[in-house]
Amino acid sequence: MIGSIGVFDSGVGGLSVLAEIRRLLPDAAITYVADQAHAPYGERSLVDVRRRAEAVTALLVDAGAALVVVACNSASAAALHHLRRRFPEIAFVGMEPAVKPAAASTRTRAIGVLATEATFQGTLFASVVDRHASTVAVVARACPGLATAVEDGDDLRARQLVSAYVGPLVDRGVDTIVLGCTHYSFLATDIAAVAGDGVTIVDPAAAVARRVAMLLPAAPAGPLRFVTTGDPERFAQQLRRLTPQFAGAAKVTAS
């Protein structure tokens, strides 16, 4: 639909952002693309991720999107600048690890960031730390396998990985942990349990949704559509598991 909103991620992670957008814009026409044939993005090269981000954006633009939400930290790190140049007529909202609010509120002067390898490799992360967290210790923890455990609904594996990745952050004295990958929102409870009571978990999804609503307050009304480059039946099951509020209304198609 012309003037609609497009949202994409490598898979189901961006559903955590979509849920927040939907809360603010319950009737807006939105197309969500899960690029599951090429997931996980976080373990690919930045060049590869940029190529996929461009292809998926082209698909959303063809479907009428006027605003594209890159609901993936890895794709934002690899491609956001490139997408803005390549599609100058489209408004983009990307993800960047919420280092700024974390650095502003930490009392121990130490914050942890959980993200993918790709996100830490991009220049975006270094520049955010440089601009907003130069006076605090930033402990960056890449989490290979964690997004895949969320995709697979493998709770046992996810919990094992969360213990392995979050425990050392706590040992380093962080009192704030930034979720720097949209998949990890679905593990916020597990992450908080390992981190313990004194640690605040920061998820930027709601702030990103507010930005979308600000940029497109009169988004055209229309259906919520889901497209996957992977297996539509598997994606429909994932929707039922992670965001049951969308499962009934939604039809998943293949791209």
Task: State yes or no: residue 73 binds ligand DGL (CB under 6 A).
Answer: yes
As measured in angstroms, the least distance from the Cβ of 21 to ligand DGL is 15
CB of 223 to ligand DGL, least distance (A): 24
Among 67, 72, 80, 93, binds ligand DGL (CB under 6 A): 72
Catalytic residue among 34, 72, 124, 179: 72
Q: How far is the CB of 97 from ligand DGL (least distance, A)?
A: 9
The one catalytic residue among 39, 53, 70, 181: 181
Asked if 239 and 247 touch (Cβ cutoff 8 Å), the reply is: yes
CA–CA distance, 64 with 31 (Å, rounded to integer): 9
Sheet architecture: strand order including 200-202: 137-142, 110-115, 176-179, 200-202
- Nearest approach in angstroms of CB 227 to ligand DGL is 16
Give the 3-state secondary structure of residue 192: helix
Give the pair of three-digit tokens for residue 141: 């923890």
Cβ–Cβ under 8 Å, residues 232 and 110: no
CB of 217 to ligand DGL, least distance (A): 26
Binding to ligand DGL by CB under 6 A, coded x per residue (else -) over 9-48, reads xxx-x-------------------------xxxx------
Are 43 and 144 in contact by the 8 Å Cβ rule? The answer is yes
Binding mask 112-131 for ligand DGL (x = CB under 6 A): ----x--x------------
Active site residue 143: no
User: What does the alpha-carbon distance between residue 59 and residue 99 come to, in Å, rounded to a whole number?
Assistant: 31
CA 103 – CA 112 distance, rounded (Å): 10
CB 112 within 8 A of CB 172: yes
Q: Give the span between the Cα atoms of 237 and 247, in whole angstroms.
A: 8
Instruction: Compose the 150-179 pattern: x for residues touching ligand DGL by CB under 6 A, - for all others.
Output: ------------------------------
Residues with catalytic roles: 72, 181
Which residues are at the interface with ligand DGL (CB under 6 A)? 9-11, 13, 39-42, 72-74, 116, 119, 147, 181-183
